[in-house]
Each structure stands twice: as structure tokens, then as C-alpha cells.
Structure 1
Amino acid sequence: MGLVSPAFGLKVLFSALGCVMLATLVYTISIDGLPFRKDLLTPWMTATLVDFYINVVVLGAWVSYKEPNCISAILWIVLLVCFGSITTSGYIVLQLIKLSPQESLEDPMYFILLRQQRKNGVDQKPKLSVVSARVLFSALGCLMFGTLVYTLVTDGSPFRKELFTPWMAATLIDFYINVVALSGRKQV
């Protein structure tokens, strides 16, 4: 019996997560209609959406770094903004499919985080320095924390029954699937 690669397990995981989010989206639309309604924008839903889109910015930065050309990066980022973790899951599965058998057996998350070398052997200099990225992501973390504190102070506890709407549940599922993707790299 052959050894199952870590990449295979990740493909199954992210395929399943993408399907769970797709089913959640279809179910929520069928029972509660489209999400483009003002009555859904409670303070806690707004805070959740701020947190969700901060994760999308981080994932968009990775996609921008990873994609070989600007057009494909923009397309993937638009899909991330529109479809959230369904796109995240699909993108990760596609990156895992591109791995060589050796990369699939070693540390697939390491290899999908890397930018592919250009055919001429010369990789472009990153557009954003590590220091700039740290400053940007620190600012986003402060924004996330500030949003949480502000919403707690102005609207109270998020653990109230009236806040748990079908769209809040769907947004939280979407958010946490992206958190799984962001947490997927091995800490050194």
C-alpha cells in the first residue's frame, strides 16, 4: 500500500471546505434570500465583515505574490472578494495540484506559499518589502482589534439570539474557512 501524501490530505480538506461553503451559501440564499439588504448590517455583522475582508486582503496579498501575471492575480482577487472561502479553497487545491510528487511528499504548504520561478530563471523583485508587509498587516490587525472593541462598547455582547441570523452564520463559516487557510502554514 502506498504512502498518502500530505498534499492529498490538504486537497481533500480544502475541497471539502469549499463544498461546505458552497452548500452553506446555497442554503442561506434559499432560506433567507440575497444578502444585499440593509437590515442585515447590524453592528456585529459589520464587524464580522470587516474581519472577513481583512482576511481577504491577506489572502489577496498572497495571491498577488504567487500569480505570475497581473491579470490572473486581479481575477483571483476579484473572485476572493465576491466568493470568499469558496475561491480560497479552490485556489489552494489548484496550487496543490501543481506540485511535483516530491513537493507533495515533503511540505506542500511550504511549496504552495512560494512563488514559481520564471522560465528565464529570473524572478521579479517582490513589489512589497517584508517590512512594508509587516507594517500593513500590523495596521490591519489593529483595525480588526479596534473594530472588535468599538463594537463591544457600542453594541454590547455578540452572544445574543437576535444577532444569530442565517447570514451571520454563513459569514462566520466563510470567515473561519479562510482562517483555516491562513493557519495552514507550519510555524518554524
Structure 2
Amino acid sequence: MAIKLAMGLKVVFPAMFCVMLATLIYTLSVDGLPFPGRPDVFTPWFVTTVVDFYINIAPIAVWIAYKESNWLRSVSWVILLLLFGSLTTCAYVFLQLVKLTPQEASQDPMYHLLLRDSDRDKTGRGNKNSPVVTARFVFGALGCLMLGTLLYTILTDGSPFRRDLLYPWMVALLVSFYIDVVALSVWLVYKESCWITGTLWLLVSICLGSAGTSVYIVVQLLRLSSQDQLYLVLLSNRNRAGSGYERTTNIDTLIT
């Protein structure tokens, strides 16, 4: 099952890369570059979708920065993500999948994909300067910003479900946005052991975009203590228990 998952992801992400690349090339050929001075492109809902898009890739950028031990590679990948969006997401995830050994792919590909090598055998506790509380505030603020932006645009420009909004660059932006949603959904489904809960959160993420994703991340961060390492939010409960995290938590609870 684990090997099939790894193989499936190796097919899905290159396929999404090709879809996005074809969409981008087509849009450039029929509608040119989306300069900020073009009112036919930068409509209120396009701007709102751009805000939604960049908030949605914020957790992906944080993950990439965490995965890369070299700061120069980290900055380079994040810049590429900001410039090319889902094209970079698909390329980066695929490269990480290719790096998995056959043993890692057969055991738990998501666990080895999400964590960097140096953190795979740690319990994730004992850091008094953990950024967990800061991350809660940041993603909570991003979620509130997106909700506020959505409400403002609805009040000033009406419903987004209009035919006139489906012009080439809006469609291209939506394709890129939802490819990133798919990438985040893979992590969300992996996190949730109950398929009902996972499906509900998935619907929230699809319907509310980055606002729903931000809420989900904050909920997961609230399950960590202020001394936990931030990377633990990446793991499912099963992986955290298997790494010794739950055992350490119980010991700490008894001591306190």
C-alpha cells in the first residue's frame, strides 16, 4: 500500500505540473502578460484570488524552508514558489519523492517525505524557544485576513460565481491555486486517521481556500504544547506515537 502511494504521488505531481505548464503557455499565447495596469485582468475578485493564492502557499513555503538545510537553496526554492506557484510546488514535491529510498517508500513515504533526515529519530520536545505559539498567531492572522478580504470583495463586487469572471488569467490562477490545494490536501488526508473528519476538513479547505487551510493548521498547532518542535505539526498521530512523542508527552504530564 505504501509503495503504491509513493508511485501514485510520483505520477500525480508531474501530471499536475504538465497541466499547469500547458495552462500557463496557453494563457500567455491568447491573453499576453498580466500586467498590473490591465483593468481587464486585475478585477477585485482577481486581486482577492491572488491574496488567497499567496496565503495558501505560505505553509508550503514554510515546509520548503524547513526541509532545506542549506539556506541558499531554501531561499531559492521559496523565491521560485512565489514566482511560479504550483509549478514549483509540483517540481519540489516530485524531487523529494525521487529522493526516497525503496525502504522509505515501502515503510511510510509521507513520513519520510515531510520530515528532513535530522528530525526523523527525535521526540520533538524540550525546546523552550519553540515557534509553535508564533506559528499559531501567524496562521490565525492569515486566516482572518483572508476571511476579511473575502467579505469585503463580496460586499463591494458581488458574488464570484459569474461568467464574466472566467477570463483566461483568472482561470489560470484558479488552476494554479487548486493544484496547491491538492498538494495540501494530500497532507491533510495523511494527518487525519478518521476518514469522516478528513473529508469534512477537505471540504472546508476546498470551499474556503486558504482561510480553511489556515484554520486547520491553527487547530493542529493548538494540539501541540508551546515546547514542542514545530515540525511535529507535519506528522499524523500514528507517526508521532511511533516516534516516541506520545510516550514523552505522557511522562511530562505525570511529572507536572
Same fold at TM > 0.5:
yes
Q: How many residues align?
A: 181
Segment of structure 1 superposing worse, 21-30 or 158-167: 158-167
Distance 1:71 1:112 in 2: 21
User: Residue 151 in 1 paired to residue 150 in 2?
Assistant: no
Alignment match, 2:24: 25
Contact 1:85 1:175 in 2 (8 A): yes
Letter of the aligned partner of 1:52 in structure 2? F
Q: Structure 1 unaligned runs (5+)?
A: none
> After the TM superposition, which parts of structure 1 deviate over 3 Å for at least 4 consecutive aligned residues?
none
Alignment match, 1:184: 186
Segment of structure 1 superposing worse, 135-144 or 20-29: 135-144
Alignment match, 2:140: 138
Within a 5 Å distance, the mapping from 1:38-187 to structure 2 comes to 38=37, 39=39, 40-117=41-118, 129-185=131-187, 186-187=190-191
Alignment match, 2:10: 11
Distance 1:128 1:54 in 2: 22
Cα distance, 1:128 vs structure 2: 6.1
Contact 2:3 2:105 in 1 (8 A): no
Q: Secondary structure at the match of 2:191?
A: coil
Q: Secondary structure at the match of 2:73?
A: helix
Contact 1:66 1:115 in 2 (8 A): yes
Q: Could you list the per-position Cα deviations for residues 130-167 of structure 1 after superposition, in whole angstroms to 9, with x for gaps in the alignment?
A: 22212211111111111111110111011122211100
Alignment match, 2:34: 35
Q: Structure 2 unaligned runs (5+)?
A: 193-256
Distance 2:109 2:67 in 1: 15
Distance 1:78 1:56 in 2: 12
- Tell me: CA distance 1:63–1:4, structure 2 relative to 1, closer, same or farther (3 Å): closer
Cα distance, 1:76 vs structure 2: 0.3
Q: Could you list the per-position Cα deviations for residues 1-23 of structure 1 after superposition, in whole angstroms to 9, with x for gaps in the alignment?
A: xx953111101000000110000
Letter of the aligned partner of 1:73 in structure 2? S
Distance 2:98 2:26 in 1: 29
Letter of the aligned partner of 2:108 in structure 1? D
Contact 1:6 1:105 in 2 (8 A): no
Q: Secondary structure at the match of 2:116?
A: coil
Q: Could you list the per-position Cα deviations for residues 58-107 of structure 1 after superposition, in whole angstroms to 9, with x for gaps in the alignment?
A: 21111111111110010001100111000000000000011111221233
Segment of structure 1 superposing worse, 54-63 or 167-176: 54-63
Distance 2:21 2:147 in 1: 29
- Give aligned-pair identity as a percent: 54
State which structure, 1 or 2, has the greater radius of gyration over its C-alpha atoms: 2
**Aligned residues: CA RMSD:** 2.0
Q: Secondary structure at the match of 1:34?
A: coil
Letter of the aligned partner of 2:69 in structure 1? P
Where relative contact order (Cα < 8 A, 6+ residues apart) is larger, the structure is 1
- Tell me: CA distance 1:16–1:128, structure 2 relative to 1, closer, same or farther (3 Å): farther
